[in-house]
Amino acid sequence: MMDAEPLEEDNLLDENHDLDSDELYEHYRIVIDKKQSLLRIDKFLMDRLPHATRNKIQNAIEAHTILVNNKAIKSSYKVKPLDVITITLPDPPRDTEVVPEDIPLNIVYEDEELLLVNKPAGMVVHPAYGNWTGTLVNALSFYLNNLPTSRNGTIRPGLVHRIDKDTSGLLVIAKTEFAMTYLARQFYDHSIERTYYALVWGVPKEKKGTITGHVGRSLKDRRVMSVYPNGEQGKHAVTHYEVIKTFKYVSLVKCNLETGRSHQIRAHMKYLGHPLFSDATYGGDKILQGQPTGSYKAFVENAFKIIPRQALHAQSLGFIHPKTKEFLQFSSEFPEDFVQALAKWELYAD
């Protein structure tokens, strides 16, 4: 019998819940040993996957996120020698205790399986060092605790993706184990439709384009993501962009994510030569276009005060509903600071 091993030859393991991804799932690949005896797949996987329970595995099988030889199977399927098993599971909950907090949530949509939240800029998604309270997960823990869908008193706010603290916009939250698994598979398959709007410095030469370049931690500063076009570092990342409107020195750009790496749009747009407006981490909080003097300097500094964070908004999400199998599309309006910044630049450019 063969255990899960790092994917070096053809055995296993590609885990995608690291800090370089905004998509929270695990992905595994197992090639069954030639000497493996017949054994139910749920029993087989329980012994080999971290954090696995029979319920979690059976939910994944039902959601068709566990495949054998690229085909859906039942829980009663018995693994055979040389079978190839591919598995996509939602990111396991961390050991950190989450304290429920009564924090208002802007809920765009909710049913028994999931809910959509329009996250304000400034709110951290998940508790971590330096931000143990006041996060979206703290708020969800409080909100979900009052719903009949919480099981056995256990609260698992079902994050399958995240957005940066100072990015505003839509997040889908799974309320059941099945929904978490089903949505995680769509993120892994890149079938989730995600549209962001960004205000960037300058005017891209091409009105439409695709930025392809691995995104990973900077070798000089671990807080920053760098683009590695030759793939020597980081992970594969693709952003499709379109210039919607220009305002002389800045542009409103629509970005569609094909992959979901951490800081992907921010890193990709800087690599293109157009950092996000007011993005201190990637140099966008300085005057990068026009002469930094006189009334123009005062104008830009005032614009920075209006939107003192990266000008990025997760505007829409589209996905297949876990139960109804209907494709759902949701959108959100630009937040007030984004609207005011756009209006200020529009007046300046006229």
Please enumerate in sequence order all residues whose Cβ is within 8 A of that of 148, keeping only pairs 6 or more positions apart, or say none.
none
Smallest Cα–Cα separation from 68: which of 79, 54, 55? 79
Cβ–Cβ under 8 Å, residues 39 and 48:
no
Q: Determine the distance from the C-alpha atom of residue 41 to the mean position of all C-alpha atoms in its chain, rounded to a whole number.
A: 30
CB atoms within 10 A of CB 124: 20
Question: What six digits make up the tokens of 226?
Answer: 């760098």
Smallest Cα–Cα separation from 313: which of 180, 167, 171? 167
Distance between CA atoms of residues 246 and 71, nearest Å: 48
Catalytic residue (one of 164, 166, 279, 337): 164
Residue 11's Cβ-count burial label (10 Å; 0-12, 13-18, 19+) is: middle
Distance between CA atoms of residues 309 and 340, nearest Å: 13
Distance between CA atoms of residues 185 and 138, nearest Å: 25
33 is catalytic: no
Cβ–Cβ under 8 Å, residues 349 and 248:
yes
Separation in Å, CA 47 to CA 44, 51, 54: 6, 10, 10
Tell me the residue ranges of DSSP E strands in 14-142: 14-16, 25-31, 39-40, 66-68, 71-72, 78-79, 84-90, 107-110, 114-119
Distance between CA atoms of residues 212 and 333, nearest Å: 28
Catalytic positions, written as ranges: 164
